[in-house]
Amino acid sequence: MKTSTSEFRNGIQWTLWSQLDDLDFADDHALLSHSHQQMQQKISVLAASSAQVGLIIHKEKTKILKILKTNFSYINPITANGSPLEEVQFFTYLGSIINQQGGTDTDVKARIGKATVAFIQLKNIWASRELTLTTKI
């Protein structure tokens, strides 16, 4: 992965002196870029680097998420090995929901919903008179 992303230093500004080009965890990668053209370059280099070691980019598992301030879409889709990649409204990366607005509202609401479900599932335990407080905690 480092080989494929080090050729182009065109990620997003992370600190005053550094850029964040990609997020990697196991076999999951999130490429970051400011422009359509830069993202296409990154995908092309990643596809070529992967092919050199016998790997291919799985088109059905690869998604494009554009975080835009305006509702602008490009005529040419991002492609990998000549195949257009699906553009999505949101995706989940390591349990966090990332959407086109770039905010945390969707992720926070989803986490609150999961916590609510977990709490409801424990309702019988909390209400039980047969279990001591020590056991419940």
pLDDT at residue number 6 = 56
Q: What is the 3-state secondary structure (H, E, C) of the chain?
A: CHHHHHCCCCCEEEECCEEECEEEECCEEEECCCCHHHHHHHHHHHHHHHHHCCCCCCHHHCEECCCCCCCCCCCCCCEECCEECEECCEEEECCEEEECCCCCHHHHHHHHHHHHHHHHHCHHHHHCCCCCHHHHC
pLDDT at residue number 74 = 65
Q: Which residues of the chain have pLDDT under 50?
A: none
- Taking only the tens place, the pLDDT of each residue in 80-108 is 888 899 888 888 888 888 888 877 889 99
Rounded to two decimals, what is the model's pTM? 0.67
